[in-house]
Amino acid sequence: MPSSRLIFPFAAAFFLVCIAPQPAHALFGSKKKAAEKAGAILFRDKGCAHCHGVAGVGSKKAPALTDIRKNKVWTPAKMSDQILNGGKKMPPFADSLTDEEVAQIVAYLRAKHKPAPPPGQEPPSAPAQ
Ligand code: HEC
């Protein structure tokens, strides 16, 4: 079987490529995922969802943020700046969020698949009962 002799080196190389960078990637991936999850909770609990809608789908008060990761204008640095200093109609959050929390929200907004926050607190816009 001549073809198996041909395939073997490729299979071996593929196997090595698969196992070699895995540990570093897995670690990076889970850290990133943790930040995105934390950001999802902050987005819901710090008032972002009040204007930008649940999961940032947008509302009459503020634009949707769902596709912001594809928007070249909104770099992570610009997003952080908007969150810290506010905008025309958006309040600044520099006093209520730490740098780490802002980074987590940016990670959440830039996530390809936005994680849903775990059930917990009601959004701030909900009437207290
Ligand atoms: C009082 C309503 C309000 C709240 C609360 C609010 N925003 Fe905004 N946000 C806006 C409005 C309105 C804009 C549009 C630009 C402007 O007026 O500054 C905006 C713009 C943005 C943008 C830029 C996107 C764009 O297309 O303009 C980002 C990113 C953003 N908000 C993130 C957040 C995050 C994260 C939070 C929570 C920490 C938050 N916002 C809380 C009203 C709000």
- pLDDT digit string (tens) for 39-56? 999 999 999 999 999 999
pTM above 0.75, yes or no: yes
- Residue 120 inside a domain? The answer is no
Atom number, ligand 1, closest to the C-alpha of residue 61: 12
CA–CA–CA angle 50, 38, 102 (5° rounding): 70
Cβ–ligand 1 distance for 42 under 6 Å, the answer no
CA-nearest residue for atom 27, ligand 1, is: 63
- Residue 62 inside a domain? The answer is yes
User: Once rounded to an integer, what is the mean pLDDT over residues 3-23?
Assistant: 62
- Residue 53 inside a domain? The answer is yes
Atom number, ligand 1, closest to the C-alpha of residue 96: 38
- Residue 10 inside a domain? The answer is no
Number of folded domains in the chain? 1
For residue 51, CA distances in Å to 1, 10, 62, 64, 128 come to 66, 53, 5, 9, 18
- The range of the structural domain enclosing residue 84 comes to 33-110
